[in-house]
């Protein structure tokens, strides 16, 4: 049997399906149909049952960069609390027969066990399919409500959850200045990246001087991680949660539309929606620009060491565009 890492994406997807079917056995689910949604960072599936119920299963990535069991338990605990304590419409986490929110599954041909989680199915379409000012107003309200709820939420394993206090918060090795990766950049691009790293880290250092306001944040709340159904926006995919500040969460949301033609309208609507719930978290003008630049650095660092063929093919163009935008960031300081 060929090693898992030597398989094509299609071959890996087939083996992951076998593992997903094995994981489903841990739940009180009468499976009718299992449909792949996507296999990128994680593998996600739609589960249709003979009980006329629909669920979503996520088979988590393993190996370097994967989230720890403690982080996953914190994620599931927060989503469960949000489901019980708010009207945000988050998916309901499903417990397995052992009353656990996380199932460990394994199968032949995949070298390590995988952590699997199941949620109720969220109907509708992602906000990204209709990224209008009206929907960004609603997304701003959702973001603010998450930040308020997080003030009093005490996650399990709190000391083992990552802190978003640097531009590369997921634990990936920093190879941006490693001679072995020099081929990815021109001398001028490396200089821009170095300066951007210094400025974004300085902004984060300043932010983290005061612990007041620090809390668990979603850390990946963008319009592809929010579902629109019957006029209501519901957040999902809390896997990347970390200790951080609301202003960082806001920056992550806006990062994905920063260069949209209607960005100013989306920003204004998002802020207006946010402020119907609580105070806008920026402490000084354009503070979010620092954290959006930091996210850009994170993606550059991730892509140049990725082993995924599709990501490696995409990397040169992304780097060209990203470094150009980092240069704009530096000029704005």
Q: How many CA atoms lie within 13 A of 240 on its CB side?
A: 20
- Residue indicated by tokens 């612990």: 211
Q: What's the topology of domain 127-332?
A: Aminoglycoside 3'-phosphotransferase; Chain: A, domain 2 (3.90.1200)
In DSSP terms, which residues pair with 118 in a beta bridge? 57
| Residue 161: per-residue pLDDT | 96
C-beta separation of 143 from 249 below 8 A: yes
Q: Which CATH architecture has domain 4-121?
A: 2-Layer Sandwich (3.30)
**Running along the chain, 333 residues long, what does each successive block of 10 average in pLDDT?**
81 91 95 93 93 94 85 97 97 96 92 94 96 98 98 94 96 93 96 98 97 96 97 96 98 97 97 98 96 98 87 93 98 96
Instruction: Considering only CA atoms, give the Rg of the chain.
Output: 20
Positions of CATH 3.30.200.20 in the chain: 4-121
For residues 68-95, one letter each, b for 16 or more C-beta atoms within 10 angstroms of the residue's C-beta and e for the rest, the string is: eebbbbbbbbbbebbbeeeebbbbbbbb
Tell me the C-alpha distance between 305 and 61, whole Å: 16
Residues contacting residue 222 through CB under 8 Å, at least 6 positions apart: 128, 252, 253, 255, 256
What is the token pair recorded at 91?
């998916």
What is the token pair recorded at 15?
């083996």
pTM of the model: 0.94
Tell me the C-alpha distance between 292 and 289, whole Å: 5
Positions of CATH 3.90.1200.10 in the chain: 127-332
């Amino acid at each position: 049997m060929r090693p898992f890492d030597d398989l094509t994406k299609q071959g890996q997807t087939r083996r992951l399906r076998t593992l997903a079917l094995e994981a489903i056995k841990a739940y009180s689910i009468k499976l009718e149909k299992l449909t792949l949604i996507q296999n990128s960072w994680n593998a996600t599936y739609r589960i249709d049952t003979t009980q006329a119920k629909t669920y979503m299963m996520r088979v988590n990535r393993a190996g370097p960069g994967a989230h720890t069991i403690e982080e996953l338990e914190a994620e599931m605990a927060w989503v469960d609390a949000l489901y019980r304590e708010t009207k945000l419409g988050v998916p309901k986490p499903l417990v397995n027969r052992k009353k656990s929110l996380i199932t460990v599954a394994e199968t032949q041909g995949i070298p390590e066990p995988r952590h699997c989680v199941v949620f109720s199915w969220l109907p509708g379409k992602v906000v990204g399919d209709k990224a209008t000012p009206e929907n960004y107003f609603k997304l701003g309200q959702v973001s603010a409500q998450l930040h308020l709820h997080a003030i009093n939420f005490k996650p399990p394993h709190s000391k083992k959850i990552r802190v978003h206090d640097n531009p590369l918060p997921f634990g990936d090795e920093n190879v941006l200045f490693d001679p072995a990766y020099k081929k990815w950049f021109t001398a001028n691009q490396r200089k821009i990246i170095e300066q951007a790293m210094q400025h974004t880290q300085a902004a984060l250092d300043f932010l983290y001087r005061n612990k007041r306001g620090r809390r668990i944040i979603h850390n990946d709340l963008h319009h592809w991680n929010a579902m629109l159904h019957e006029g209501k926006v519901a957040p999902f995919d809390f896997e990347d949660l970390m200790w951080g500040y609301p202003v960082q969460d806001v920056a992550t949301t806006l990062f994905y539309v920063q260069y949209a033609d209607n960005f100013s309208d989306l920003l204004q609507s998002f802020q207006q929606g946010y402020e119907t719930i609580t105070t806008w978290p920026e402490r000084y003008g354009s503070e979010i620009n620092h954290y959006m630049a930091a996210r850009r650095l994170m993606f550059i660092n991730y892509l140049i060491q990725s082993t995924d063929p599709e990501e490696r093919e995409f990397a040169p163009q992304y780097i060209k565009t990203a470094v150009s935008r980092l240069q704009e960031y530096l000029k704005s300081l």
